[in-house]
Structure 1
Amino acid sequence: MKTKLKLTIYLIAGLIFGLSANAQKTVIKKEALPANAQAFLKTHFGSKKPSYILEDKEILSTEYKVKFGDEIKIEFDKKGNWKEVDGNSSKIPKSIVPKKIASYIKSNFPKEKVTKLEIGSSGYEAKLTNGLELKFNLKEDFIKIDK
């Protein structure tokens, strides 16, 4: 009985490892991005050309990663919805930051700029030039400061 259990565990572990090894990263053109991602890039970056665009395919998911120069990296989900915009310590375009969050930051941290913005199932996280990380819910209401 124990041997069958061990064998089953090894088979499952091998299957999971095999599936994850199938991940593929491919350089693609802007036109190959989902429409939502193309619209996001056009709205917030205009005609600025990315350094590269990667399609990161795994068995159960696909993500897209776009990089501009030495600074801004953007991650999109398989539908082209943005998940993260990271300026690598440089400010990200103001137009990306939702109005309510931008207003909160301007009122409470007037000298700071947003260098990273993430959206997840529970809300937003904004990183500022001073290193503080602010958490907001999906309604863009401030929740707390993370350090």
Structure 2
Amino acid sequence: MRTKLKLAVYVIAGLMIGFSSNAQKTVIKKEALPANAQTFLKTHFGSKKPSYILEDKEILSTEYKVQFDNKIEIEFDKKGNWKEVDAKIGKVPKSIIPKKIASYIKANFPKEDVTKIEIETSGYETKLTNGLELKFNMKGDFIKIDK
């Protein structure tokens, strides 16, 4: 019984190492992004050219990462839907932030800008220039402050 358990553990560990070793990051051109991602970039960043675009292929998923010279980094899922916009230095373009969230931040934190916004399954998470992290549901209603 113990040898079967050990064998199962070794097989699972081998499969996990095999899956992770198949992950592949490739530099791609803007035209190779899914249409949704291309539209997002054109809408919110106009004709600015990214400093790089990576396609991160794994066995079960594909993600894309776009970075601009101003250190704004955008992550997209395999369909080209944005998942995260992170302005390492600076602020996230206001056009990306849902109106209800932008209104809440303007009313309650008028001197702060959004440096990061992320879509999660439960809603949005934003990070402000003062370091506070605010959580909102999918409708844009404020839920709580995380720190």
1:124 aligns with 2:114: no
- What RMSD over aligned residues (CA atoms) do the two structures have, in Å? 0.7
Matching residue of 2:48: 48
- Equivalent-residue separation in structure 1 for 2:8 and 2:109 (angstroms): 55
Task: Note if contact 2:70-2:89 (Cα within 8 Å) is conserved in structure 1.
Answer: no
Matching residue of 1:136: 136
- Equivalent-residue separation in structure 2 for 1:65 and 1:122 (angstroms): 22
Report the CA distance between 1:73 and its aligned residue: 0.2
Task: Note if contact 1:72-1:87 (Cα within 8 Å) is conserved in structure 2.
Answer: yes
Matching residue of 2:84: 84
- Equivalent-residue separation in structure 2 for 1:94 and 1:71 (angstroms): 16
Structure 1's 82 and 120: CA in aligned 2 closer, same or farther, altered over 3 A? same
Report the CA distance between 1:89 and its aligned residue: 3.9
Task: Note if contact 1:89-1:129 (Cα within 8 Å) is conserved in structure 2.
Answer: no
Structure 1 regions of 5+ residues with no counterpart? none
Q: What are the Cα deviations for residues 48-76 of structure 1, in whole angstroms up to 9, with x where unaligned? A: 00000000000100000000014200000
Count residues with an aligned counterpart. 147
User: How does the TM-score come out when normalised to structure 1?
Assistant: 0.98
Report the CA distance between 1:134 and its aligned residue: 0.3
Runs of 4+ that moved beyond 3 A: none
Matching residue of 1:3: 3
The letter of the residue matching 2:107 is S
Q: What SS is found at the alignment partner of 2:102?
A: helix
